[in-house]
């Protein structure tokens, strides 16, 4: 076992599909780190099998033991009503409450450092040097304008597992009336107000492709993150605009026709 691991989370069949593309992409980077898929009972065994076949370690994880009132406040319809998503659409298979189970990675104390990556991302070149970065490192949530640099995106981050940290997080998380409008992301930003900033290229959000095309540079990008609509959703509203990125995801998912990233064409700005 390595002292380093890439970790993702899967709570249903759709995200297991995402994780398959992610795990395949990580394998192609020739990393020595362990690949860990934390999964809840919502993920069917059949959908996890191909992940195990690629050598991923499947680690059962429960949703967090949050209170009924907390769960009620973060229930999908309620969260969407109280903190509407105005920039893009969340797929129907996205359950906000499930996001908080990411925090379980702090319980993976068999590792010194972990890099968490959302199941809706692919790693397009080796990023093992992130294991030498401090907790808590994350890239800014950039996909529209300069104001985005104030916030982090929790789709890629570096953490140091520790049971004490996990316990401290649970205590902060589930306080009376606490409402984390963007779930784990808002929480992690509050818990680590002095987060270390990674370059945006470690977590390139797909909307940059059409909103900030001058920022897109395949030669610098390490991780492509399909925030909002997922590349495996059929005919989503942004599918035409995001065609080249969706094709890339399908290449990783199938393992066929993965291109040389350095040779891909940047969007026209």
- Restricting to residues 221-260, name those near ligand UDP by CB under 6 A: 227-228
Three-state secondary structure string covering 84-115: CCCCCCCCCCCCHHHHHHHHHHHHCCCCCEEE
Q: Which helix (H) or strand (E) holds 9?
A: strand 4-10
Cβ 164 to Mn ion, closest distance in Å?
27
CB contact at 8 A, 85 and 166: no
- Name the site residues for Mn ion (rule: CB under 5 A): 118, 120, 155
Cβ 263 to ligand UDP, closest distance in Å?
27
Residue from 4, 6, 7, 8 binding ligand UDP (CB under 6 A): 8
Stretch of residues binding ligand UDP (CB under 6 A), selected from 7-15, 49-57, 78-86, 165-173: 7-15
Query: Is there binding between residue 7 and ligand UDP (CB under 6 A)?
Result: no
DSSP category for residue 261? G
Write the binding mask 86 to 125 for ligand UDP: x where contact by CB under 6 A, - elsewhere.
--------xx--xx------------------xxx-----
Cβ 170 to ligand UDP, closest distance in Å?
18
Cβ 84 to ligand UDP, closest distance in Å?
14
- Strand 57-60 with 34-39, pairing: parallel
Residue 76: phi and psi, rounded to 5, are -50, -55
Residue 34 or 120 with smaller CB distance to ligand UDP? 120
Instruction: Count residues binding ligand UDP (CB under 6 A).
Output: 16
Residue 213: phi and psi, rounded to 5, are -60, -25
3-class DSSP assignment, residue 34: strand
Residue 181 or 219 with smaller CB distance to Mn ion? 181
Q: Using alpha carbons only, give the angle 100, 106, 111 rounded to the nearest 5 degrees.
A: 140
DSSP category for residue 214? G
Residue 27 or 90 with smaller CB distance to Mn ion? 90
Q: Is the peptide bond before 73 cis (omega within 30 degrees of 0)?
A: no
Stretch of residues binding ligand UDP (CB under 6 A), selected from 6-14, 157-165, 172-180, 237-245: 6-14
Residue 33 or 38 with smaller CB distance to ligand UDP? 38
Tokens representing 68 are 């009924």
- Restricting to residues 17-56, name those near ligand UDP by CB under 6 A: none
Choose from ligand UDP, Mn ion, none: what does 34 bind? Cβ within 5-8 Å by kind.
none
What sign for the dihedral angle of Cα 105, 106, 111, 115?
positive
Q: Determine the Cα–Cα distance for residues 248 and 203; give it in Å rounded to an integer.
A: 16
Residue from 11, 31, 203, 222 binding ligand UDP (CB under 6 A): 11
Residue 39, number of CB atoms within 10 A of its CB = 25
Q: Which residues sit at the interface with ligand UDP, rule CB under 6 A?
A: 8-12, 15, 94-95, 98-99, 118-120, 155, 227-228
């Amino acid at each position: 076992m390595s002292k380093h691991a890439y970790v993702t989370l899967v709570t249903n069949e759709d995200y297991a599909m995402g994780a398959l593309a992610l795990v395949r992409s990580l394998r192609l980077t020739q990393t020595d780190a362990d690949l860990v898929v934390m999964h809840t009972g919502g993920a069917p065994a059949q959908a996890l099998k191909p992940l195990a076949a690629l050598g991923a370690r499947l680690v059962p994880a429960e949703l967090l033991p949050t209170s009924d009132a907390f769960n009620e406040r973060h229930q999908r319809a309620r969260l969407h009503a109280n903190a509407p998503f105005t920039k893009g659409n969340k797929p129907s298979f996205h359950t906000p409450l499930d996001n908080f189970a990411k925090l379980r990675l702090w319980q993976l104390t068999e590792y010194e450092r972990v890099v968490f990556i959302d199941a809706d991302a692919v790693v397009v070149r080796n990023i093992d040097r992130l294991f030498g970065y401090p907790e808590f490192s994350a890239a800014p949530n950039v996909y529209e304008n300069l104001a985005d640099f104030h916030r982090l995106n929790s789709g890629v981050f570096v953490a140091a597992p520790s049971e004490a940290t996990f316990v401290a997080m649970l205590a902060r998380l589930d306080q009376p009336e606490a409402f984390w409008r963007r779930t784990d992301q808002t929480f992690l930003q509050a818990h680590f107000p002095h987060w270390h900033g990674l370059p945006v290229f470690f977590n390139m959000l797909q909307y940059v492709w059409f909103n900030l095309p001058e920022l897109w540079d395949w030669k610098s990008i390490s991780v492509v993150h399909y925030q909002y609509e997922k590349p495996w959703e059929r005919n989503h509203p942004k599918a035409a605009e995001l065609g080249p990125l969706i094709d890339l995801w399908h290449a990783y998912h199938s393992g066929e026709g993965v291109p040389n990233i350095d040779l891909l064409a940047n969007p026209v700005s």
